[in-house]
Chains A and B, each alone.
Chain A
Amino acid sequence: MSNRPGSPLFLARRSYRFRRLMDAVRLLPVMALAFWLVPLLWPVPDTVADPKIMTSHALRYVFGVWLGMILLALFLWRRTARKIAQEYQS
């Protein structure tokens, strides 16, 4: 039968999910920017005694964020690409 009780709910849920994913697509660069501006807060030592951040730590942080963003973008692409293409066509 065409009007199963569950199907409208399912559809609404899917388009709802798509919208939230698109929100994530829009927000991702903001998040990346925020993370990459964190180094502005790191101390720059003038003397040996000052607190300092080691370069290896900074490397792990910057590249970790980078990789995270790439994976998130990849995930979002997998989940939204088809629907976006459909919307382009319509």
Chain B
Amino acid sequence: MVSLNQLIAVCLLYVVGLFAVAFAAERAAVKGRGDWLLRSPLVYTLSLSIYCTGWTFYGAVGYAARSGLEYVTIYLGPSLVLIGWWWLLRRLVRIGRSHRVTSVADLISSRYGKSNLLAILVTVMAVIGVTPYIALQLQSVTLSLSIFAAPPNLAGGTADPINTAQAAFWVAVGLGLFTVLFGTRNLNVNERHHGVVIAIAVEAIVKLLALIAVGVFVVWGLAGGLTEAMAQIDRSDIGVWQVDGGRWAALTLLAAAALICLPRMFQVLVVENDDERHLQIASWAFPLYLMMMSLFVVPIAVVGLNLLPEGSNPDLFVLSLPLSQGQNNLAMLAFLGGFSSATSMVIVATLALSTMVSNHIVMPIWLAFGQGTVQQSGDVRHVVILSRRLSILFIIALGYSYYRASGGSGALAAIGTISFGGVAQFLPVLLGGVFWRGATRTGAVFGLCIGFALWIFTMLLPSFGPGAALSAQTFEHGLFGLSWLRPEALFGVSGLDPTVHAVVWSLSLNTLAFILGSLVSFPTPMERLQGAQFVNIFDHSSPARGWTASEAGTEDLMIMAQRILGPNEAQAFFRAQARLQEKAEGLPEPTPRFVQALERELAASVGAATAHAMVAQLVGGASVSVRDLLAVADESAQMLEYSSQLEIKSRELSDTAEKLRGANDKLTQLSHQKDSFLSQISHELRTPMTSIRSFSEILRDAQALSPEEKTRYASIIHSETIRLTRLLDDLLGLSVLENGAVTLNREHGSLRDVLDLAVTTGKAANTGAIQIIRDLHSEDVMLETDFDRLAQVFINLITNAQKYCVADVPELRINVVRHDDHVAIDFIDNGAGIDPASRALIFEKFSRVPGQGGEGAGLGLAICREIITRLQGDIVYLPDVAGTGFRVTLPIGPHSDTPDNIQIAASA
């Protein structure tokens, strides 16, 4: 027989051992050693085992003894969530990491626009919801102590039953102390509580080993082997499947929801997660752990029912069975297992809750009152830490009060279910926030309030029993005498199991209110931004949001950061940021990126909403920029925009390619033109030069030349020189015209005068007789233009006709047609016209129509076109007339453009 004192001594030893492990882990973490263990998937999986609390350890057997296999739903739900890690947990962990979420309240508040209201709401609900759970742990430890004090099956029963209230009190004090010591040593939640996590991992192993040891003892030691145990099970009271289908489904759902929503589970699953890869390992390892924890529950329950006297508390079979068989060491191990289960749960739960209370309730209030201005100097950290410590003690005190109030009598499983029902109310808001961009803060507040109110009314208050929190009359006739408001038969739906009834009503109305509220309300820009980031967490994991204001003085930010992070940490952070901005020394510029990083750093210590509020105080004003809002813009719109941009880009590309190709063609053509131009010009220059040289040589060398011959040769040289000069003049004139360096000498005059001059000059050239037909009357058009240049064009056209018209009686008709703002002058002869193939080239330099005689260099029409273009007119070949026709179009209205001060050097 183990005496109570021995037990307490072992217990204390165990706790001291845990302290040592936790302390060593903290030391190792500080020194950067032991990462392989601290950050291993094994420790992660084991830390998840705080799901298995005193309820699992003791309560599950009691549950099985009362209702058969139904207990297993509590483990099936979490197994499902873990096996389905890809769907939800992966997202939560990624969100938790990229937004540096500190708790489930932080996540929800962050998702719905960093709302403080929601954070407070969720925190209060979590505290109320978890309180029965903490009471449950106190109850399980106290019960297990009491059974050692008054063990079953022992003659005499000499030991005094212990004072349970006192025992629970001291257990609570001890737990509070441990949590305060190891849970609030460092402030930065994202640095994680290594000591606590390691201690929990050790406790996880202890409780698993203890339960399996008892199970093995029961099956092989008491029942006589597996087959016999199975037969015994079938013979027992719970030998036939009797689970109500509704409860089976509802409890599975509840347990699955609790795994995600319980603050302590969220803490170990999301906040303490070091590596996303651990999640997939936990997806099989944690179900394995749960399976092993529940493997021997039914055999223990059945053997306990058989062996122990009628009226023994089935919640304590795990202890009383070994005790009744005189297996003191096994009983001691079992006690330590139960103790581990209860303590690890209380530690993590209070830690998670205290973070929430201090971040979402104490800090905002502290900021709002007096000390609230964050520029003030002084260390804020002690306020945070103090508020956390007080919160821990407060939460444990609350659990103790619940334990006392409920009388410590209820079955463990029933208390646990109530707690699950409370935190499960976060589920719609959480899932909606992660998967539905349309979810809004208003909807979340509605859903949470309605779900929670229903939970209190249908689950929490009835748990105290009729006549305690709710009067017996309310149970009978409903609230305010309204029969549809009976806590166990809402809206007149009676006959349901109370748990199923409460779960179905609270969760469904919660979801309904949440969805309706979201549908009818409109989110703020911050909500939409956060919503987009949460829902599309894998698309843009890096935050796109930034503070727009740059007025925030870095000094102010520095002062604030020092107060929260501590001077050394803050300075290190600022230096690192300055280096990122490539500043060698001094403080970093308050760029949006920097302020963003700072806010996240602060969020890890005080929660997103508080950090946001603090930074907002300094930076001031809107933190959502237009660019951020663009990110919120509808996905499909983005896709559309993107694809249309792509289309435009590709069109631009093909256009550019087309232009490039054209330019290349033109360049090639120009290069050819240049080559042919050079060869032409050298040819044109060479011909007269050759004859000049030959004849000048004859004149020089020949002795016996008659004066006639001399005169003839000299005149040949002279005419060739003239031809050469004319060619050079034409080239020069053309180049001047082409370079735009021409000066026009504008005058006011009559078209008829110009034509008169041109016809006279053209005939004087005497290159061939041509009859020129004019309509003098139509030529009375007054023009404002350069008449010398115009005459040059006309003369060129007339002499061309004289030269190339092949008709027997050559004839040139000059028609003048006046339009509103321009006049068209046609020169049409009765010749053969120009071959269509050559028409495109006649205005080009050196182009001469093949098959025609003539000594011209082929520059005349090119010059004409340049001149007419300068005069803002146009010259074209008329393809549809009988013979060769050109049309010159000239504007009539007075105009002025190019400066008229440089005299042109060219002549016709």
Interface size on A, as a range, is 35 or more
- A74 CB–B CB distance under 8 Å: yes
Q: A66-B287, A69-B287, A70-B291 are in contact. Are A55 and B80 (CB under 8 A)?
A: no
Q: A44-B242, A55-B69 are in contact. Are A66 and B79 (CB under 8 A)?
A: yes
A-contact bits for B66-92, CB 8 A (1 contact / 0 none): 001100100010011101101100000
B-contact bits for A15-29, CB 8 A (1 contact / 0 none): 000000010011011
Q: A32-B83, A40-B248, A54-B241 are in contact. Are A73 and B72 (CB under 8 A)?
A: no
- B11 CB–A CB distance under 8 Å: no
In the complex, what distance in Å separates the CA atom of A63 from the CA atom of B79? 12
In the complex, what distance in Å separates the CA atom of A58 from the CA atom of B76? 14
Tell me whether A77 and B245 are in contact (CB under 8 A).
no
Tell me whether A74 and B284 are in contact (CB under 8 A).
yes
In the complex, what distance in Å separates the CA atom of A88 from the CA atom of B295? 36
Tell me whether B276 and A88 are in contact (CB under 8 A).
yes
- B735 CB–A CB distance under 8 Å: no
In the complex, what distance in Å separates the CA atom of A66 from the CA atom of B252? 14
Majority secondary structure of chain B interface residues (helix, strand, loop or mixed): helix
Instruction: Give the contacting residue for A42; candidates B87, B241, B280, B288; CB below 8 A.
Output: B241
In the complex, what distance in Å separates the CA atom of A39 from the CA atom of B72? 12
- B15 CB–A CB distance under 8 Å: no
Tell me whether B249 and A40 are in contact (CB under 8 A).
yes
Partner-binding segment picked from B26-34, B231-239, B549-557, B894-902: B231-239
- B190 CB–A CB distance under 8 Å: no
Across the interface, name the chain B residue whose C-beta is closest to A57: B241
Tell me whether B80 and A32 are in contact (CB under 8 A).
yes
> Which residues of B lie under 8 Å from residue A80 when comparing CB positions?
280
Q: Which of B282-308 contact A (CB under 8 A)?
A: 283-284, 287-288, 291, 295, 298
Tell me whether A55 and B233 are in contact (CB under 8 A).
yes
In the complex, what distance in Å separates the CA atom of A42 from the CA atom of B69? 13
Across the interface, name the chain A residue whose C-beta is closest to B541: A88
- A85 CB–B CB distance under 8 Å: yes
In the complex, what distance in Å separates the CA atom of A71 from the CA atom of B83? 11
Q: A56-B233, A77-B283 are in contact. Are A39 and B291 (CB under 8 A)?
A: no
- B173 CB–A CB distance under 8 Å: no
Q: Which of B232-275 contact A (CB under 8 A)?
A: 233-234, 236, 238-245, 248-249, 252
Tell me whether A81 and B240 are in contact (CB under 8 A).
no
In the complex, what distance in Å separates the CA atom of A71 from the CA atom of B231? 28
> Residue among B83, B245, B295 with the most chain A CB within 10 A?
B83
Tell me whether A54 and B277 are in contact (CB under 8 A).
no
Closest chain-B Cβ to A89's Cβ sits at a distance in Å of: 10
> Which residues of B lie under 8 Å from residue A22 when comparing CB positions?
86
> Which residues of A lie under 8 Å from residue B241 when comparing CB positions?
39, 42-44, 52-55, 57-58
Across the interface, name the chain B residue whose C-beta is closest to A74: B284
- B230 CB–A CB distance under 8 Å: yes
Closest chain-A Cβ to B769's Cβ sits at a distance in Å of: 81
Tell me whether A44 and B233 are in contact (CB under 8 A).
no
In the complex, what distance in Å separates the CA atom of A32 from the CA atom of B83? 8
- B177 CB–A CB distance under 8 Å: no
Tell me whether A81 and B79 are in contact (CB under 8 A).
no
Instruction: Give the contacting residue for A59; candidates B69, B276, B280; CB below 8 A.
Output: B69
Q: A45-B240, A56-B234 are in contact. Are A69 and B249 (CB under 8 A)?
A: no
Closest chain-B Cβ to A88's Cβ sits at a distance in Å of: 6
Instruction: Give the contacting residue for A54; candidates B72, B76, B239, B288; CB below 8 A.
Output: B239
In the complex, what distance in Å separates the CA atom of A8 from the CA atom of B284? 34
Tell me whether B287 and A70 are in contact (CB under 8 A).
yes
Tell me whether A26 and B87 are in contact (CB under 8 A).
yes
- B281 CB–A CB distance under 8 Å: yes
Q: Which of A1-54 contact B (CB under 8 A)?
A: 22, 25-26, 28-30, 32-33, 36-37, 39-40, 42-45, 52-54
Tell me whether B240 and A66 are in contact (CB under 8 A).
no
Tell me whether B239 and A62 are in contact (CB under 8 A).
no
In the complex, what distance in Å separates the CA atom of A37 from the CA atom of B238? 20
Tell me whether A69 and B79 are in contact (CB under 8 A).
yes
Tell me whether A69 and B233 are in contact (CB under 8 A).
no
Instruction: Give the contacting residue for B284; candidates A40, A43, A70; CB below 8 A.
Output: A70
Tell me whether A62 and B288 are in contact (CB under 8 A).
no
Across the interface, name the chain B residue whose C-beta is closest to A29: B84
Instruction: Give the contacting residue for A70; candidates B81, B238, B245, B288; CB below 8 A.
Output: B288
> Which residues of A lie under 8 Å from residue B68 when comparing CB positions?
55
> Which residues of B lie under 8 Å from residue A62 when comparing CB positions?
69, 72, 76
> Which residues of A lie under 8 Å from residue B283 when comparing CB positions?
73, 77
Instruction: Give the contacting residue for B83; candidates A56, A67, A69, A81; CB below 8 A.
Output: A69
Instruction: Give the contacting residue for A67; candidates B245, B276, B291; CB below 8 A.
Output: B291
In the complex, what distance in Å separates the CA atom of A42 from the CA atom of B248? 12
Q: A54-B234, A62-B72 are in contact. Are A36 and B80 (CB under 8 A)?
A: yes
> Which residues of B lie under 8 Å from residue A32 when comparing CB positions?
79-80, 83-84
In the complex, what distance in Å separates the CA atom of A66 from the CA atom of B295? 11
Tell me whether B244 and A44 are in contact (CB under 8 A).
yes
In the complex, what distance in Å separates the CA atom of A29 from the CA atom of B234? 30
In the complex, what distance in Å separates the CA atom of A85 from the CA atom of B236? 50
In the complex, what distance in Å separates the CA atom of A18 from the CA atom of B288? 25
Tell me whether B249 and A37 are in contact (CB under 8 A).
yes
> Which residues of A lie under 8 Å from residue B280 when comparing CB positions?
77, 80-81, 84
> Which residues of B lie under 8 Å from residue A71 when comparing CB positions?
284
In the complex, what distance in Å separates the CA atom of A32 from the CA atom of B245? 17
Across the interface, name the chain B residue whose C-beta is closest to A67: B291
In the complex, what distance in Å separates the CA atom of A56 from the CA atom of B230? 6
Across the interface, name the chain B residue whose C-beta is closest to A52: B240
> Which residues of B lie under 8 Å from residue A81 when comparing CB positions?
277, 280-281
> Which residues of A lie under 8 Å from residue B277 when comparing CB positions?
81, 84-85, 88
In the complex, what distance in Å separates the CA atom of A36 from the CA atom of B81? 13
Closest chain-A Cβ to B251's Cβ sits at a distance in Å of: 12
Tell me whether A29 and B233 are in contact (CB under 8 A).
no
> Which residues of B lie under 8 Å from residue A54 when comparing CB positions?
234, 239-241
In the complex, what distance in Å separates the CA atom of A57 from the CA atom of B241? 9
> Which residues of B lie under 8 Å from residue A67 when comparing CB positions?
291
Instruction: Give the contacting residue for B87; candidates A29, A40, A55, A88; CB below 8 A.
Output: A29
In the complex, what distance in Å separates the CA atom of A28 from the CA atom of B83? 7
Closest chain-B Cβ to A30's Cβ sits at a distance in Å of: 8
In the complex, what distance in Å separates the CA atom of A22 from the CA atom of B90? 14
In the complex, what distance in Å separates the CA atom of A71 from the CA atom of B288? 9
> Which residues of B lie under 8 Å from residue A26 when comparing CB positions?
84, 86-87
Across the interface, name the chain B residue whose C-beta is closest to A87: B538
Closest chain-B Cβ to A35's Cβ sits at a distance in Å of: 10
Across the interface, name the chain A residue whose C-beta is closest to B76: A36
> Which residues of B lie under 8 Å from residue A63 when comparing CB positions?
291, 295
Closest chain-A Cβ to B15's Cβ sits at a distance in Å of: 33
Q: A36-B252, A40-B249, A54-B240 are in contact. Are A59 and B233 (CB under 8 A)?
A: yes
Across the interface, name the chain A residue whose C-beta is closest to B288: A70
In the complex, what distance in Å separates the CA atom of A69 from the CA atom of B280? 13
Instruction: Give the contacting residue for B281; candidates A44, A57, A59, A77; CB below 8 A.
Output: A77
Tell me whether B87 and A58 are in contact (CB under 8 A).
no
> Residue among B239, B281, B284 with the most chain A CB within 10 A?
B284
> Which residues of B lie under 8 Å from residue A88 when comparing CB positions?
276-277
In the complex, what distance in Å separates the CA atom of A71 from the CA atom of B230? 24
A-contact bits for B206-237, CB 8 A (1 contact / 0 none): 00000000000000000000000011011010
In the complex, what distance in Å separates the CA atom of A38 from the CA atom of B234? 20
The contact sample of 11 A-B pairs, CB cut-off 8 A, is A32-B83, A32-B84, A40-B245, A42-B241, A53-B241, A56-B239, A57-B241, A66-B291, A70-B287, A74-B284, A80-B280
Counting from the closest, the 9 A-B pairs by CB-CB distance are A29-B84, A73-B284, A53-B241, A56-B230, A40-B245, A74-B284, A29-B83, A52-B240, A54-B234
Query: A residues within 8 Å of B by Cβ?
Result: 22, 25-26, 28-30, 32-33, 36-37, 39-40, 42-45, 52-59, 62-63, 66-67, 69-71, 73-74, 77, 80-81, 84-85, 88
* Known A32-B83, A55-B241; 14 more pairs at CB < 8 Å: A22-B86, A29-B83, A32-B80, A36-B76, A36-B80, A36-B252, A44-B242, A52-B241, A54-B234, A54-B241, A55-B236, A67-B291, A73-B287, A77-B283
